């Protein structure tokens, strides 16, 4: 997992083997701490995530999709999760813990 630049945007790369997938919702999800994301940038103070573009790759097939930040979920003005979506209709939720 590392960040790189994609068309001027910081991009985080993740593997499907560290994410949960809910097929009926077409949703990948995981807690930010389980992704070893820096609490400096991934915490309740940030309504806009540090990485606005995330690439997820399946290590078995080598196929990948790019996800872009869509919105942030809040509870009492605290960021609870960051929502992303791919052009293929798959969603990604990074949960603030």
Per-residue model confidence as pLDDT tens digits over 16-48:
999 999 999 999 999 998 998 887 777 777 777
Q: Return the structure tokens found at 52.
A: 């606005």
Q: Is 34 helix (H, G, I), strand (E, B) or coil?
A: helix
Q: Which of 9-18, 41-50, 78-87 has the highest mean pLDDT?
A: 78-87
Q: Which is it for strands 64-75 and 53-57: parallel, antiparallel or unpaired?
A: antiparallel
Give the mean model confidence (pLDDT) for residues 44-67.
Answer: 89
- Tell me, what's the pLDDT at 1? 40
pTM recorded for the entire structure: 0.86
Length of the chain: 97
């Amino acid at each position: 997992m590392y960040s790189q630049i994609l068309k001027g945007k910081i991009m985080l790369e993740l593997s499907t083997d560290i994410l949960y997938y809910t097929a009926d919702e077409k949703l990948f999800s995981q807690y930010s701490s389980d992704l070893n994301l820096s609490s400096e940038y991934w915490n309740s103070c940030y309504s806009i995530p540090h990485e606005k573009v995330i690439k997820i790759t399946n290590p078995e097939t080598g196929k990948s999709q790019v996800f872009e930040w869509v919105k942030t979920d809040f509870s009492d003005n605290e960021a609870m999760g960051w929502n992303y979506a791919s052009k293929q209709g798959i969603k990604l939720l990074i949960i603030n813990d």
